[in-house]
Structure 1
Amino acid sequence: MNPLYRNDRPGQYPPSWYAASVSPPAPRPELKGETRADVAIVGAGYTGLWAALTLARKGMRVVVLEAHRAGFGASGRNGGQVHSGFNKGQAWLEGKLGKGEARALWDLSEAAKDQLRDFCAAHPQTGYKPGVAHGEYSEADTRTGAREAEHLAKAYGYDQVESFDGPGFADLVKSPLYKGGTLDRGGGHLHPLHYALALAAEAEAAGAVIHEGSEVTGLTHGTPATVQTPKGRVIADHVILAGNGYLPHIERKVASTVMPINSFIAATEPLPERWQEVLAEDISVADSKFVVNYYRFSEDRRFLFGGRESYSIGFPSDIKGALIRRMTDLFPQLSDVKVDYVWGGTLGITVTRLPALQRIAPNVLSGAGFSGQGVALSGMAGRIMAEAVAGQAGQFDVMAKLPVPAFPGGAAFRAPMLTLAMTWFSLRDRLGI
């Protein structure tokens, strides 16, 4: 089952608040016939667009192939949260890779945030704002978060994270369920679709060509490689695969390490007079549930509340009801609030929840599996894959060292195995264990 078409109308952005609040450009033409490129890029999300922008600025001939619209996938419909580091703490990475490699990865993640903030400063429609909090459901997890914050300050000189006990965090995030948490002033949030559209425009201005409505149906390895679409093909010296959770099964090595999973978001009616009943500051928040809750307020003060409720490719029949229950469990004060928009989307996750950067062949690179933490990291992955194509592979090699094993049984068994695991962890979340 192909997530490219299972839940969405071809060539149309999902009916999200994001799509309703932008004026997208006219559709770009699909690829017809044969064309030649230095680099063919599969996917016009953050990863593919940053790769295209970087390479076009270097004077290379770049062709981007997108099955639907630029920013159609997770890049245009996510929670908009910008986190520091990775889904694993720095202490964990030090234990797995050593302090030197962990430090290099931290520096790369900080560069990813700098890259994003610099771009957003030049494109104010992206709406970047600082601050991302993390809520904990147990005192033990609260202590773990505080230790990680202290470690970042002492070992990395990163003093942007403040730790809170239960009452302190409740003053910031006004839910009765959290036992404490942290606030990272170095993270933030933005309008994800505005960001994607601005990236696409910049890439085109630099000389990249984007073809929409051009699903990649096959990749033939070689020098050069051939990337096939229903009505055309690109002959390219290099290929970058940047489809993430929406990438069709065209590369076994990617499919065995990256699994598509769905996440959903609800947007309430505007709450200009009530939003501070929920948050004391205009920050974004995620929490420690395995089936994570994540939320923030939009520019017009709609509460954007997200969570994962489906482990199959198809969307469930009642997205709205499940999200409202999760939202009002956390914030009973919103039980009377109307929900205006509900949408879902597909992201790519890995076994370790760490990005999977892979060299599939000498001239084929892949970046995927950002596991809900890709707003900054996926753009950096695109940039460093572009630099690797241009002959500077140092940073690509750093991120490629993240431990990302294949799913047990590979692509054939990843879905049932993940469904069993996610069902168990979801049950643990509900039982509070």
Structure 2
Amino acid sequence: MSSIDLSSLLRLQLPRGGIDFSSFSSLCASAARLLPDKSLPVAVAAVAGYLVICNAVRFRSINRLKKKLGYTDRRSLSRMTGDDAQTIMRHMILEEFPTMSELGLQFALFKTYGIETISKLLVATKNLADKENSSKRYEDTSIIFTEFMTSMPTSSRHMQAVARINYLHAPYIASGKILNEDLLYTLAVSAIEPARFIGLNEWRATTEMERCAIGTFWKSLGDAMGIKYEGHLARAGQWADGLEFHEDISAWAREYEMEHLRPADTNVAASRELVRLMNWHVPGFLKPFAQDALVVLMGDRVRDAFRFEEPGILPAAIIYTTLALRRFALRFFCLPRLRPLKAFSDEDPTTGRIQHYYYLVHPWYNPSTLWSRWGPEALFRRLSGGFAPGEKSHMPEGFLWNEIGPKAQVGKGSAEMDVHVERMKGLQRGKCPFSGAA
């Protein structure tokens, strides 16, 4: 059995443009001649073949979408419609980057807790900052955001989700407890943080088309929520496309944070409750590390606003190394998702109820099936002190839109929501929001 010629092996080089099928056979043949065991070439061929397939199909989905929609350069982005932006957003959230999209949105929620006018209201209303109500309100918030981020802007479900959040906000806006700046900042971080988390931690960076879709979508949603941009964003009413809107709202958010993202007692109360929910299933002895991990990801300014102690070097090193390894593995060793995730059931044709397939702590609106109650995920949740679907109080039959929100508002607001829906129909939400936008 001859030994491997190490110098010859080191001279094997991959093509500059990445692995392709034309180079695959020569690569395997060269490697096989150097290997001592005749059975090893089969293993080498299998591994190399898998890597070739991963490389060949990893970008296929985004390339197909770009070709289908026709957004090939910056000039073409100025005609992006709300419908196309939604299609691109759905592709990002449910196919390409589900993990970092969700994590980014969670940290966007974190950031809003660092604004005293927002956290003060949350604590006062006991919605997202109280142990009794926080879990349901978290799930309700997640449902509203996921629905209007993944359904077409002209669909009934999208408009119902937006109408519900408008209804829930309306009395606080009327009383001056929710300011336009609060809504604008929430809109800003919802656009900024998922894109930032994807850019830092995912297997590829977002494309110009995707970044434009983010700006286009959130501009359109801000219009539907009645958020005012004049006097806040530099080019209000003059944006050519979603990229310009995203640039302006990002610049405004940075300036706003310099003045308003600062320590306050209500920030602390709200943030500790969200940390408790996010670390619910972490074993007790690991909870300090899990909290440090969250603090590492939230950054210095947010950490100071919540009065968390600065984490040590070890947690930071572990978190960043883990994220880097994940990014590398996804890019080179993982095939793309075969089908998009499904967050919701179809609307029941008889009752109109919708079931939600994901949850953080309590399984609100999750269907009760043998798998959901006793499958691997359910067993893990039970063993870690969590909950599996099935309890009647968690409404496994699903929700109606007028049941989303604080307990005092359950079953209320249908007429007011209908008014919001009719107003949105007049906004032509599937069109380009920058054609005469204000």
- Pairwise same-fold verdict (TM > 0.5): no
Interval containing the TM-score (normalised by the shorter chain): under 0.3
TM-score norm. by structure 1 comes to 0.27
Using CA pairs below 8 Å that are at least 6 residues apart, which structure has the higher relative contact order? Answer: 1
TM-score norm. by structure 2 comes to 0.27
* Larger Rg belongs to: 2
